[in-house]
Structure 1
């Protein structure tokens, strides 16, 4: 299906596309590499820094490369060979790491193992960038539902794969990125929205504030993960109970989003971040160390929600600015990854030279919780996020409102029913009135409102009016 096409009726919701959960295969692979010893030996260390830090660093380099070449390449997802490149790098890199991991005396091959880990990480970055390009152009109003459901699905895969026999687990880890690539390739015919027809203001100070908030959250996340690995993990017999907590929370979030069907997808993703990070850090600091996984589980929820928020917002901003999505997407994720790396590495290095004691670690966690709350309420709050989606105010042209709506409906590829709903919304009518006027169910009316907002690139009525008046 091309731009503006839709596999739906004029009076019903678009069908749920299970293909769009395919990013969950990528996320499950990422978690298995970072959070288990299946791919990387537990005793592996290079320059005093743990393998997870190197994996994040290599992936960050991949994002940097994608950002550099994006202006010349354009859209990665439109180049078929990129799917093969991403699948090959991820699968081969992971496979060789698994083989070397099983060899006796693998300590002698640390440099070589890290080299193939770098290859896998590069493929991982390319694959995620292409998923970001797909999210940027999807016309569906279910974006938040798909992303939360994908991450919930990833947790199911994460634990399910580890229950398999060892050789099957190894094969599954190699095949997960391949499956994600194949599903992404088949998803290119999902309903796409037309190129942005609106003019949006670029508020550079707002972008700086957003990046500052991302850095603080990334540092807090990285520091918490480093403390968990060094303080709590040794007191836990086996497994990752913190990820069980995080998985349960994501399943609950996915269920909530499925019932709520909010038209404001970025807001739905933003709301859990500050509470999850701050409460998680506090619980980690005050609970007995053996129960620290409850706090770290919430920290992971906050970190992953921040991940998907950045994915969506950066892709949306690039789409509206008519710039390469890979450029905006890669730069945004790169900032978060580098902040996380700084948090992880700083604690590792400080602990290695005896600068961080157990007591000071707990005090630092409390201080980080307070900092996250301050940043999320005073520096970059929900109202600042909404400003990202505020169009450039326009002076109404010499034409009536109905003509403005008709022009914008055609430019943005709205269906006939969506054009009717747009006109009623612009006239000040609410959802109950629209249901009565068009003889449709409330759920259907809300679906049309969400689809209109998505195609216009806004998430509230005021932004919609501003876009209409630009027509």
Structure 2
């Protein structure tokens, strides 16, 4: 494999936000009535049933991928996944209009099965791409993808039925088409020694994702039920507007600040956003519940992006199939949402905007505080990226020789090699700017690319990699 290009073109950046079409499908399916008529079937909400089926779909695709891995390069995998998801969506839209109840059940089973397979397969193939990209701007592309998804969602939200649903049916096809065009993007190399997963940190991360997703599932069932303006039909629209503005603002901040470690940058807003949402629900009157609900949504979308970036990155670095680690992370997150949705649906008939709701919100706030301080912290995240220390020989290579070995094995460009040489000698980003006579944004871009290609999240992890080279 040749050396990756030093910069990502504007066209490539537009390609890499193609995940937004997949995410817009999720938003339209579960946060609007464009696809799913949420009339209970046999006492079960159709949206809850769809969440259960798509969650199971991740487990099935993970198991199937152990025998035959999904590959975006294979047109059959892409076409099969996208057409399955699109056609299933079309059938799901019109299933409630069938006059024969038994035929409606058959249509629902077929559509949910098709959607579950296509949805999970398409996301896993996007994960394969995220894990191999050489650019250090993957986190920014993820945020821009989600911001783009909100724009698509509002376009769908403004259209009448069935035009909104028909538009949503095209999203999987567009997402797959763009994913296929991304295959020419520069890829990082797996020349470094395999990384070992920190088991304790991994278990804590799983518990963290499960707890936060349960809080999300509970809130999305109960808050619209007790909110004063939920009956207007625009409650979810206003909720998504708040979440979209918050995601857009954070995407802009991430683009302008260009942090070296995007994984840490994606982790930081998760707990604060969800906690701010719960505090807003406690403090504000019910007519403003959409603000709190929107901030909770923003937090859970940040969690989604964080697990996408971190799990695919670790899968690549550990030389483990992406579907195994990324699929597990998504399955755990969606399982938490499902459990929370069921719990919320059970509590919903007994809930009103009174002391019982405030108590529940305060309890969820306490759970978030525990999750953010005891379950999984930024220190745990750093431990996931730590390079295991091994015994070093007396006759070890010099620092320059170790850097040269890393440059070759990781496929760093000549400029990135110069930046690496300065970083391992203790230079700051500003020192790099001064010595190489480059702009600070350019220096940050090189540092971010180096971190990405070496699979590290901070300067300490970088030193560990060089030490063990």
Q: Is the 8 A contact 2:219 2:344 kept in 1?
A: no
TM alignment of 1:356-395, pairs within 5 A: 359-395=355-391
Shift of the 39–84 alpha-carbon distance from structure 1 to 2, 3 Å rule, reads: same
Q: Is the 8 A contact 1:318 1:324 kept in 2?
A: yes
Shift of the 221–107 alpha-carbon distance from structure 1 to 2, 3 Å rule, reads: farther
> How far is 1:284 from its partner?
1.9
Q: How far, CA to CA, are the matches of 1:438 and 1:347 in structure 2?
A: 57
SS in 1 for 2:190: coil
Q: How far, CA to CA, are the matches of 1:279 and 1:219 in structure 2?
A: 17
Q: Is the 8 A contact 1:3 1:193 kept in 2?
A: no
Q: 1:452 aligns with which of 450, 453, 465?
A: 450
Q: How far, CA to CA, are the matches of 1:101 and 1:162 in structure 2?
A: 20
> How far is 1:168 from its partner?
3.5
Q: Is the 8 A contact 1:64 1:334 kept in 2?
A: yes
Q: 1:247 aligns with which of 227, 232, 244?
A: 244
**Deviations along 1:278-311, whole A, 9 cap, x unmatched?**
1212222332222111100000011111111111
> How far is 1:144 from its partner?
1.4
* More divergent stretch after superposition (364-373 vs 165-174): 165-174
Per the alignment, residue 293 of structure 1 pairs with 290
Per the alignment, residue 31 of structure 1 pairs with 27
- The alignment's TM-score, normalised by the length of structure 2, stands at 0.93
Q: How far, CA to CA, are the matches of 2:205 and 2:240 in structure 1?
A: 27
Shift of the 346–5 alpha-carbon distance from structure 1 to 2, 3 Å rule, reads: same
Q: Is the 8 A contact 2:267 2:302 kept in 1?
A: yes
> How far is 1:453 from its partner?
0.6
The alignment covers a number of residue pairs equal to 464
Q: How far, CA to CA, are the matches of 1:100 and 1:233 in structure 2?
A: 31
Q: How far, CA to CA, are the matches of 1:102 and 1:3 in structure 2?
A: 55
CA RMSD of aligned residues (A): 2.2
* Residue 422 of structure 2 is aligned to residue 424 of structure 1: yes
Shift of the 325–235 alpha-carbon distance from structure 1 to 2, 3 Å rule, reads: closer
> How far is 1:111 from its partner?
5.2
Shift of the 439–118 alpha-carbon distance from structure 1 to 2, 3 Å rule, reads: same
* Residue 241 of structure 2 is aligned to residue 283 of structure 1: no
> How far is 1:134 from its partner?
0.6
> How far is 1:5 from its partner?
2.3
> How far is 1:76 from its partner?
3.0
TM alignment of 1:193-208, pairs within 5 A: 193-195=188-190, 197-208=192-203
* Residue 86 of structure 2 is aligned to residue 91 of structure 1: yes
Q: 1:332 aligns with which of 316, 329, 332?
A: 329
Shift of the 336–470 alpha-carbon distance from structure 1 to 2, 3 Å rule, reads: same
SS in 1 for 2:356: helix
Unaligned runs of 5+ residues in structure 2 are none
Q: How far, CA to CA, are the matches of 1:46 and 1:195 in structure 2?
A: 49
Per the alignment, residue 4 of structure 1 pairs with 3
* More divergent stretch after superposition (115-124 vs 230-239): 230-239
Unaligned runs of 5+ residues in structure 1 are none
Q: 2:432 aligns with which of 434, 445, 459?
A: 434
Q: 1:210 aligns with which of 201, 205, 214?
A: 205
> How far is 1:49 from its partner?
2.6
> How far is 1:164 from its partner?
3.5
**Deviations along 1:418-443, whole A, 9 cap, x unmatched?**
11111111112222222222222222
Q: How far, CA to CA, are the matches of 1:110 and 1:304 in structure 2?
A: 32
Q: How far, CA to CA, are the matches of 2:193 and 2:417 in structure 1?
A: 16
Q: How far, CA to CA, are the matches of 2:153 and 2:253 in structure 1?
A: 22
Q: Is the 8 A contact 2:196 2:318 kept in 1?
A: no
TM alignment of 1:45-194, pairs within 5 A: 45-103=40-98, 109-110=104-105, 112-164=107-159, 166-194=161-189
> How far is 1:101 from its partner?
4.1
Q: How far, CA to CA, are the matches of 1:248 and 1:148 in structure 2?
A: 12
